[in-house]
Amino acid sequence: MRQAVANVGAGALRVAEEVGGIVILTGQTLRALVPPRVDTRELVKNLYKMGNRSVPIVVLTAFFAGGLMTLQTGPFVKKLGATALAGWGAGYAVLREIGPILIALMFSGRVGANNTAELATMTVTEQLDGLRALAIDPVRFLVVPRVLAMMVMLVALTVIGDLVALTGASVVGHAMLDIEWSTMFHSFADNLRPYDFLHGVYKSIAFGAAIAMSSCYFGVTVRGGAVGVGRAVNAAVVAAAVSIMLLDFFLTYLTG
């Protein structure tokens, strides 16, 4: 029994330590942004890498997710004879919630995990120490470009993904529930407001920041060889997932 309490306490301490560490890294990153002297080559390289890699998986995921939403809400809407609302059910969920969250989760898995792995490998092979020895600040050189790239990319991907998801919703609606394209399109246009779309985008900015900071933090604080790298990636994606859910909650309540 005492052991269980000790475990919970140790777990809580570890979470607190990690959260604290991420906050500190965030502070360092923000400070490195003033004045905004970013290594543009690193920034462009990362933008390309992260965007390029994640487009296929995000597009595929968004398509299926949109289709799923139609499968869930469509039959219900059809039964009520309210096919005009078909787009509403799927589209609303996609733009405000499912789209940003799923795309963020996929982004975290694809880009965030990869980023952690890269930074962790660099740390384990002492490249970060090497940079410091050359009087280059790793935060300014490595972390800041990646954070910026991830945030920009996630917003772009969310926008693309939202559109693909709506497409997927329409395709499934047409192919499986016999809902006409025009019906879907009109129900999107009639029931979804621009604010719904923006709401999802605001969220993706926050998600991007969370994923980026967590991914970089666990990458540079890794310890212990190949096994440590695996553990760092694991911790990074878990932390990102939890942050996404928490942020989603707070943002939904705060911005309605």
Partner 1 sequence: MTRFAETIGDAIVAAVRAVRDLWLVYVGTVAGLVRKSRVPHRGEVARQLYAIGNRSLVFVIVTLGFIGMVMTYEACLQLSRVVGDYTQVGPQYLRLVISDFAPTLTALMLATRVGAGIAAEIGSMKVTEQIDALRMSGVLPIDYLIVPRFVASVIMTLVLSTVGGAVMYAAGGLTAQYSFGVNPNNFYGLQFVRPRHVVMMIVKALSYGAAIPVVAGFCGLRARGSSEGVGWATTAAVIGSSFAVIVLDFVISAAALFVTGGDL
| Sites of contact with partner 1 (CB under 8 A) | 11, 57, 60-61, 64-65, 67-68, 71-72, 75-76, 78-79, 85, 88, 92-93, 96-97, 101-102, 105-106, 108-110, 113-114, 116-118, 120-121, 124-125, 176-177, 191, 225-231, 233-234, 237-238, 241-242, 245-246, 248-249, 252-253, 256
Query: Rounded to the nearest whole angstrom, what is the least distance from the CB of residue 11 to partner 1 in the complex?
Result: 8
Distance of alpha carbon 203 from alpha carbon 195, whole angstroms: 12
DSSP-assigned letter for residue 110: I
Query: Rounded to the nearest whole angstrom, what is the least distance from the CB of residue 10 to partner 1 in the complex?
Result: 13
Q: Are 193 and 182 in contact, with CB atoms under 8 Å apart? A: no
Query: Rounded to the nearest whole angstrom, what is the least distance from the CB of residue 101 to partner 1 in the complex?
Result: 8
Residue among 154, 150, 147, 202 at smallest CA distance from 36? 147
User: In the chain, count of helices (H) and strands (E)?
Assistant: 11, 0
Query: Rounded to the nearest whole angstrom, what is the least distance from the CB of residue 84 to partner 1 in the complex?
Result: 11
CB of 52 or CB of 72, closer to partner 1: 72
Phi/psi zone of residue 225: left (φ > 0), alpha (ψ -120 to 50 degrees), beta? Answer: left
Query: Rounded to the nearest whole angstrom, what is the least distance from the CB of residue 162 to partner 1 in the complex?
Result: 15
CB of 137 or CB of 190, closer to partner 1: 190
CB of 26 or CB of 61, closer to partner 1: 61
Which residues, 6 or more positions from 68, have their beta carbon under 8 angstroms from its beta carbon?
A: 172
Query: Rounded to the nearest whole angstrom, what is the least distance from the CB of residue 36 to partner 1 in the complex?
Result: 30
CB of 32 or CB of 107, closer to partner 1: 107
CB of 32 or CB of 179, closer to partner 1: 179
CB of 24 or CB of 195, closer to partner 1: 195
Residue among 235, 233, 192 at smallest CA distance from 99? 192
**Alpha carbon separation from 208 to 18, 37, 82, 204 (Å, rounded):** 18, 21, 37, 6
Half-sphere exposure of 201 (CA within 13 A, CB side): 11
Q: What size, in residues, is the chain?
A: 256
Specify the DSSP element, H or E, that contains 182: helix 181-191
Query: Rounded to the nearest whole angstrom, what is the least distance from the CB of residue 184 to partner 1 in the complex?
Result: 17
CB of 32 or CB of 87, closer to partner 1: 87
